[in-house]
Amino acid sequence: MKRKINPGFRDGVKDLTLSDGIPRLQRTISETGPSIPSDEEHAKVQVVEKSFGLADESIMAPMMNHPSGLSTVHGRIRYSSENDVAGLVKTYLERILYALGATDVEIHSEIATFNIRPDLWVVSVRGIPMGVVQVKKPDVPGKPKALDHPNVLGELFDFLRHLPNFHGVSPAFGILTNMNTWRMAWLPTESGDVDLVAGQEETFKDEDKGGADLLEGGQEEHPPIPSIQEEDDDTEENQEAFKDDCSARLMHVSRIFRKNEPDTLIRAITSVLCKMIRSTATPFPTPFANLEQRTILKFVRSEATSVVWTQLHVKPQWDKVGRPQKFLFAVQDLGRGADGRVWLTCTTSGAICVLKFPLDGKAETVDREHSSWQAAYPSIRTYKETWCGHVALRMPYFAPIQEGERESKIGLVHDTLTISFASKGMIHADVFWRNIGTYKDDRGEEKAVVFDMGRVKFSDTAADSGWVEKECGRLLLSETEEESEEYY
């Protein structure tokens, strides 16, 4: 007689639906509790707890039979690291979004630049971050509780500030969770608070998807082609002129929602996702636009790991390469390359440069790329330095080649690949338009640079320029290639 198999069960494994809520999480191996940042990493924040409008019950009922993406083994899910918990959170949120019908919204796991990037972003289909998700391991007896800790809340506050200050997103919402407990947070703004009054319920319709049309009507102004002439900076007078942002570190938060109230919890999670989706993003036409309304990151050249927010009032000098003594100001997050996170920065006089932090945090990674830069472009100065306690590569900024100009600039790219790489026994293994820029040399002539040098290879056959012809031909065929986050 055949044993009947209950659908959803496999040898003690049960596939859960959203109506099942969040199961028991069991620690394995690790006995440590959630990570708590220090004051140096993320200063404490003052929080004001406010009522949080929940999603209308009418949109919840059709969602509840959807799979949650969570599977238990004998009634529990085992984890050992914060990354394990982040994976569970990502899966759970993705399934809620799918059940909502928000199929044009993605959740990306983010690769951190030391202590200034969250674990997850809620991201629109066009790659604009619309919300922040910060994940901690579940609480353990005798250890600090993460969702109440002022430094953990300060960490979420610093992550949230990326949304309005680098991406033009408003209002800015975030989630802090250890899977067992969840807390919603938002930066205090009139528009952020107005729909969070007690008793008001969230509704969600296709036309509410603010993230779907983020760039419509927005016209980006491209900066001029820069030079690579360096300028000393950071005099004592300049240093004193720039003060850290002294505005109150204030954040509004919901109460803590717990998994033992499953119906209310999933309504709260659905609500904050709806709010993120309905937020709007107004891209800055230039990296230096609206500085008077923004606070930006100040990097300090030191072993101290703290990163602070500051206000900056400066006119950019695109024709000067910054040579900072102490400070750099991050005005734009240029995204992630093959092996690094890149920031467009300026000095106190407005001279421009780029900082690239290795994703693996290793000095050897910077050494390898620095050596490749020196070999390929001896006239372009790059520097290995320590900023905010982390090794980084500092280099000039190069103007991206716009889509309509690519065919006319292919000759410059061909010359660079031939002279700077093939003739020196080097092969650039990451030749894409996103990794190509231009600058003006001392004679005012435009030159191309192929950067993101982490994958440069040395080969006895590199002098055979067949690979150059192949790469240039592929570039011409891919003029409309979909851009990614990768840069430098």
- Rounded to whole angstroms, the Cα distance separating 139 from 145 reads 6
pLDDT at 249: 86
- Rounded to whole angstroms, the Cα distance separating 156 from 279 reads 18
DSSP structural state of residue 311:
-
Q: pLDDT (tens digit, 9 = 90+) per residue, 389-398?
A: 899 999 999 9
Instruction: Give the containing element (helix H, strand E) for 415.
Output: helix 406-416
How many Cα atoms are found within 13 Å in the side-chain-facing hemisphere of 468? 23
Map out the domains of the chain as residue ranges.
Answer: 10-223+246-281, 291-395, 401-477
For residue 98, give the 3-state DSSP assignment.
helix
- Rounded to whole angstroms, the Cα distance separating 133 from 110 reads 10
Residues 153, 251: contact at Cβ < 8 Å? yes
> For residues 32, 182, 305 and 159, what is the CA-based torsion angle, rounded to 10 degrees?
160
**DSSP-H helix ranges across 129-261:** 150-160, 162-167, 190-194, 236-241
CA angle 407, 413, 414 (to 5 degrees): 100
291-395: CATH topology: Phosphorylase Kinase; domain 1 (3.30.200)
- Rounded to whole angstroms, the Cα distance separating 244 from 297 reads 9
Find residue 252's DSSP bridge partners: 48, 186
Q: pLDDT (tens digit, 9 = 90+) per residue, 220-278?
A: 566 777 777 776 665 544 544 455 555 678 999 999 999 999 999 999 999 999 999 98
Q: What are phi and psi of 412, to 5 degrees?
A: -65, -40
Query: Per-residue pLDDT for the chain (488 aa), expressed as one digit of tens each?
Result: 444 445 555 667 899 999 999 999 988 876 677 888 877 778 888 999 998 888 888 889 999 999 999 999 989 999 988 889 999 999 999 999 999 999 889 998 765 555 667 788 888 767 788 999 999 999 888 778 899 999 999 999 999 999 999 989 999 999 999 999 999 999 987 555 555 544 456 666 655 555 444 444 444 566 777 777 776 665 544 544 455 555 678 999 999 999 999 999 999 999 999 999 989 888 888 899 988 889 888 999 988 777 788 888 888 998 889 989 889 999 998 887 778 889 999 998 899 999 999 888 889 999 999 999 999 999 999 999 999 889 999 999 999 998 889 999 999 999 999 999 999 999 998 899 999 999 998 888 999 999 988 889 888 776 677 899 999 999 988 755 444 444 44
CATH 1.20.1250 holds for 401-477:
no
What is the pTM (predicted TM-score) of this model? 0.83
